[in-house]
């Protein structure tokens, strides 16, 4: 029997292009966000079928507050209604939800919806979906340093000290970061973990992503040679 191709243990996804997807159809940007959520559900199911253990979805960055009040309000409303509103879907598919980012900077209802969902999916074991929300890689590193210093005043900062104080130290570092909509940048996503992550960029707008796109990501990952500074 052929060996199953190696899949990333942890995949990071920068879900981009919701606005452009909507613009192309003369719809408001918010319609793109609603459609993007459907793509997320397709992708998480296929990621589980492929045997990926963790998927981090970049949902809202620390910079996304710069958008119009109307768009931010719509997104926050979407998070409140959908993060906990999809509980039956998570439980049906064995999806455990975790969150990464500065939850204290979110409206109370959003934080509550996340905390409830994390609690109520904690026994699911098929796949872990991590919602990166009010997330910034620089912000996470600063918070990790401050967390360490408050526990160990006056001590020197080491790589281990930072890694152990990131938001989810128990989660393995991301193996591959992919981005939709053809932008080739990280936009402050998982800066610490990305030191040795494989990167891949795809043209399709996020709301158009389906099962086939995740199979393509897995195939592309299986072709990479990871060296971590050593030799093959």
Binding residues, as ranges, are 16-21, 29, 33, 61-63, 65, 67, 179, 185-187, 198
Per CB under 6 A, residues contacting ligand IPE are 14-20, 58-61, 64, 75, 181, 183, 185, 187
Closer by beta carbon to ligand IPE, 19 or else 137:
19
| Cα 148 from Cα 10, distance rounded (Å) | 25
Least spacing, CB of residue 33 vs ligand IPE, in Å:
6
HSE of 186 in the Cβ direction (CA atoms, 13 Å)? Answer: 18
Least spacing, CB of residue 67 vs ligand IPE, in Å:
8
Closer by beta carbon to ligand IPE, 164 or else 183:
183
| Cα 98 from Cα 208, distance rounded (Å) | 25
Catalytic annotation on 167? no
Taking the CA atoms of residue 162, residue 168, residue 172 and residue 176 in that order, the dihedral angle to the nearest 10 degrees is: -90
Which partner in Mg ion, ligand IPE, none is near 58 (CB below 5 to 8 A by kind)?
ligand IPE
Which partner in ligand IPE, Mg ion, none is near 219 (CB below 5 to 8 A by kind)?
none
Closer by beta carbon to ligand IPE, 33 or else 111:
33
Backbone torsions φ then ψ of 135, nearest 5 degrees = -105, 135
Label residue 190 left, alpha or beta by phi (over 0 means left) and psi (-120 to 50 means alpha): left
* Three-class secondary structure of residue 54 per DSSP: strand
Residue nearest to ligand IPE (CB): 19
* Number of shown-chain residues binding Mg ion (CB under 5 A): 1
Choose among 176, 181, 177, 178: nearest CA to 206.
181
Which partner in Mg ion, ligand IPE, none is near 54 (CB below 5 to 8 A by kind)?
none
Choose among 62, 47, 64, 48: nearest CA to 13.
47
Helical segments of 94-180, H only = 108-120, 137-151, 159-163
String of contacts with Mg ion for each residue 2-41, x by CB under 5 A? --------------x-------------------------
Q: Of the listed 16, 139, 167, 193, which one is catalytic?
A: 16
Q: Of the listed 3, 64, 123, 152, which one is catalytic?
A: 64
Contacts for 70 with CB less than 8 Å, ≥ 6 apart: 30
Catalytic annotation on 64? yes
Residues annotated within the binding site for substrate are 17-21, 29, 33, 61-63, 65, 67, 179, 185-187
Query: Degrees (nearest 5) of the Cα angle 194, 98, 163?
Result: 40
Binding interface with Mg ion (CB under 5 A): 16
Which residues form the catalytic set? 16, 64
């Amino acid at each position: 029997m052929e060996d199953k191709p190696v899949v990333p243990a942890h995949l990071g996804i920068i879900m981009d292009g919701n606005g452009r997807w909507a613009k192309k159809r003369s719809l408001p940007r918010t319609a793109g966000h609603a459609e993007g959520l459907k793509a997320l559900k397709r992708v998480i199911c296929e990621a589980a079928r492929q045997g990926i253990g963790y998927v981090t979805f970049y949902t809202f960055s620390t910079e996304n507050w710069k958008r119009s009040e109307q768009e931010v309000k719509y997104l926050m409303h979407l998070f409140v209604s959908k993060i906990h509103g999809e509980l039956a879907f998570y439980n049906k598919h064995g999806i455990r939800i975790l969150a990464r980012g500065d939850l204290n900077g979110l409206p109370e209802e959003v934080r509550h919806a996340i905390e409830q969902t994390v609690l109520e999916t904690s026994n699911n074991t098929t796949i872990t979906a991590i919602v990166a929300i009010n997330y910034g890689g620089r912000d996470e590193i600063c918070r990790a340093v401050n967390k360490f210093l408050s526990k160990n005043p006056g001590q020197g900062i080491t790589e281990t000290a930072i890694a152990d104080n990131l938001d989810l130290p128990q989660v393995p570092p991301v193996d591959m970061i992919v981005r939709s909509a053809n932008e080739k940048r990280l936009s402050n996503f998982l800066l610490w973990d990305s030191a040795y992550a494989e990167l891949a960029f795809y043209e399709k707008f996020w709301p158009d992503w389906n099962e086939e796109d995740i199979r393509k990501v897995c195939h592309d990952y299986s072709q990479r040679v990871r060296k971590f500074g050593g030799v093959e």
